[in-house]
Amino acid sequence: MNAVANKEQETVRPQPMHEHEREREFFIPPVNIIEGADQYIVEADLPGVTREGLEITVEDNELTIIGHRQETIQEVPNAEVLYQETRPGDFRRVFELDPTIDTSKINARMDQGVLTLTLPKAEKVKPRKIQVTD
């Protein structure tokens, strides 16, 4: 059983939003999920995204990362783009969190286009050593 379960499988698809948002297409950035003794680490590859372009929420044990990547191609006078693999657009990733994660202590940092989320394990699920007394 994974404590952080991916809820998407495809790279681009229309996704239903909350009532106040209309359905629209999102791209799904790649992530790495790492388990340590005291925490899980989620790394999302988000080149061209700034902190201001991110919204990260936790609700009902779902971690949602939403944001927007700006156009990164420079406009050059009298020139045309011949080939483009990157594109601007909205992205969204949703992960179902196990109740063993202490959601009140999740933190996030952005460094060189990589978003790193630290999801601490709740104290009650961390292994502990029990002392035997006389």
pLDDT at residue number 131: 84
The Cα 65–Cα 68 span in angstroms is 10
DSSP state at residue 74: P
The Cα 99–Cα 130 span in angstroms is 24
With a pLDDT cut of 90, the percent of the chain lying above it is 37
* Dihedral pair phi/psi, residue 53, rounded to 5°: -90, 10
Instruction: Give the count of alpha carbons within 13 A of 65, CB side only.
Output: 29
The Cα 69–Cα 83 span in angstroms is 18
pLDDT at residue number 66: 92
The residue among 30 and 4 whose pLDDT is bigger is 30
* Dihedral pair phi/psi, residue 128, rounded to 5°: -140, 155
In tens, the pLDDT along 49-89 reads: 888 889 999 998 899 999 988 776 778 888 888 887 777 78
Query: Are the C-beta atoms of 85 and 48 separated by less than 8 Å?
Result: no
In tens, the pLDDT along 94-132 reads: 999 988 899 999 999 999 989 999 999 988 766 778 889
pTM: 0.71
In tens, the pLDDT along 15-29 reads: 444 554 555 677 888
CATH for 4-70+86-122 is 2.60.40.790
Domain ranges of the chain: 4-70+86-122
